[in-house]
A and B are shown apart, each in its own frame.
Chain A
């Protein structure tokens, strides 16, 4: 069985009379160790899919199994606990806590794990090392560049050693050089640590790193980027990615 299994996965929002269907009966299997790039125009449901897999949102219909667990059935508090050990989430805008140092930001997910202080310290140091940001451990987010902030965020997603890393446009706010460095880091996490990686991106260079690229449009998978979309992706690809609404 695959690591992540989506069957007829549907997410629907109703606002008064009109319905928004960000995800429409999606079928998708992702194997352990995959490095999947998820592309598609703004509003096509990419973030929605990531949030469902992360257990942040619940599907309206369909089935979603991660490591065999039907996560839609878990209670909110069980889900939070499950997420803290299974999912590492990386945001476009890093979402670091401004009053905490790099070290403390990375430590944050571990404070709710039943481990000793010593082990916690070791794991934070290791994660910072892996993310290549150990030398800045006592810096506050405002003292770091965007690329460095994202490294801290990646270290934070790694520190609980989850099998799955989800990244929502992780390079969307970074310049070309930093983007490259971050993508290389993510690739290493996939190849060397065997993390299953799903990256939402507008940046076509990501596809060079990914083992597989999928395209979403209006909540459905399309086998290939239609010409119009390819053009949009291309123009968006150089430099800054388009931000979600």
Chain B
């Protein structure tokens, strides 16, 4: 096909720098929005989904399948669960993690306002075996009885405070009582990243309870499967337990939040549509000023397709530039930002697929934005276009 040179498109963009800047920023804004919503959906989704190979089972109090924070499991039940033959064992350690989960109002020392409700998990050392996604990135694990705690990577965002307030050695107040931060951990793309962890017995004291919220065990696929856990729960009615795959537990949560995700997607698409329409308007004006040029090019022998392609090129260059800016800004500013929601927080995830969605949205924006005004422009007979 006989095409217009590529720099015909690029040079035309330089015609009115003001409009060019506006167009680039406009599409950057639209794409940033798409990236933000994709990052939201992806962040929420990944915090509630676990790797396929996860073979953890959560034992919850019967009837508390939906919420670990409402669940009660007796210490005796935990002891029985620990004897399940199919539990994984390594170097003599059994992968059994009795846990207490309570949402507590937490505030920093400097803060005067009432603390924010933050998920706190009381654990034994086996928790670090069972929850292999948790990595200690600074300091150490809290010692029982020493009023110590450890914070996850998203706790700052969850509390709405700067990371410096959560440095090692700093103090957090629970019910007015000071707890010192002795460790930092990360568990990216999981709900744990927004949690505070302390010794199991300490949290039992704080929460004034002597039972547990749940027992999480890792099964050894060579020794048995989830059915064994289910049979145990079914046979031991006296323990009042329910066994759930950890994957299913978070899957149910994810389904619970699906409407929020749908809402975010719908809102984002509406705003993006508005952006496209606004962009269309600018394009119509910009291209209408060039009907005579289109006529001239046709008189010179250029086929319509070549002219359409060149105009679309122009618009895609603009939108893709905007998309690149949005991608960089999104990666730098949005990635990892904590979004609070009822059960803690999750981090926005701006990763390759999200960026790809953003860039794709930019390119679509460019094409969809350019085609209608271009085609409208082309519909005019050449003779009339020249008179225009």
Contact = CB atoms under 8 A, between A and B. Distances in A.
**Whether chain A touches chain B in the assembled complex (some CB pair under 8 Å):** yes
Interface of A: 47-48, 51, 54, 56-57, 76-77, 80-81, 83-85, 89, 91, 95, 97-100, 108-109, 111-112, 156, 160, 244
Given A51-B383, A111-B2, A80 B15 contact: no
Given A99-B12, A99-B15, A80 B301 contact: yes
Contacts of A244: 387
A77 B5 CA distance: 19
B293 A83 contact: no
Contacts of B301: 80-81, 83-85, 109, 112, 160
B11 A56 contact: no
Interface in B318-344: none
Nearest to A114: B2
Contacts of B12: 99
Query: Chain A CB within 10 Å — which of B301, B302, B304, B382 has the most?
Result: B301
Contacts of A91: 296, 386
A111 B8 CA distance: 12
Contact of B4 (A98, A111, A156): A111
A35 to B, nearest CB: 21
Contact of B383 (A57, A80, A84, A160): A57
B274 interface: no
B299 interface: yes
A56 B5 contact: no
B300 interface: yes
Interface string B291-314: 011011111111110100000000
Contacts of A111: 2, 4-5
24 contacts: A51-B383, A51-B386, A56-B298, A56-B383, A57-B381, A57-B382, A76-B304, A77-B303, A81-B301, A84-B301, A85-B301, A89-B299, A91-B296, A95-B386, A97-B293, A99-B12, A100-B8, A108-B300, A111-B4, A111-B5, A112-B2, A112-B301, A112-B306, A156-B300
Given A97-B293, A99-B11, A80 B302 contact: yes
Contacts, number: 61
B295 to A, nearest CB: 8
B138 interface: no
Contacts of B303: 77, 80
B344 to A, nearest CB: 55
Contacts of A160: 301
Given A51-B383, A95-B386, A111-B4, A56 B15 contact: no
Contacts of B4: 111
Contacts of A77: 303
Contacts of B353: none
Given A56-B382, A83-B301, A95 B11 contact: no
B63 interface: no
A36 B295 CA distance: 25
Interface string B352-363: 000000000000
A56 B386 contact: yes
A98 B15 contact: yes
Contacts of A108: 297, 300
A99 B382 CA distance: 21
Nearest to A54: B299
A187 B14 CA distance: 38
A97 B5 contact: no
Nearest to B306: A112
Interface string B120-163: 00000000000000000000000000000000000000000000
A112 B383 CA distance: 21
A51 B384 CA distance: 10
A156 B301 CA distance: 12
A112 B302 contact: yes
Contacts of A51: 382-383, 386
A97 B290 CA distance: 10
B293 A80 contact: no
Query: Chain B CB within 10 Å — which of A47, A84, A98, A99 has the most?
Result: A99
The 6 closest A-B pairs by CB, nearest first: A84-B301, A112-B2, A99-B11, A95-B296, A57-B383, A109-B300
B189 to A, nearest CB: 48
Interface string B1-17: 01011001001101100
Interface in B208-232: none
A192 to B, nearest CB: 24
A160 B2 CA distance: 15
A80 B293 CA distance: 16
B384 to A, nearest CB: 9
Contacts of B8: 97, 99-100
A134 B67 CA distance: 82
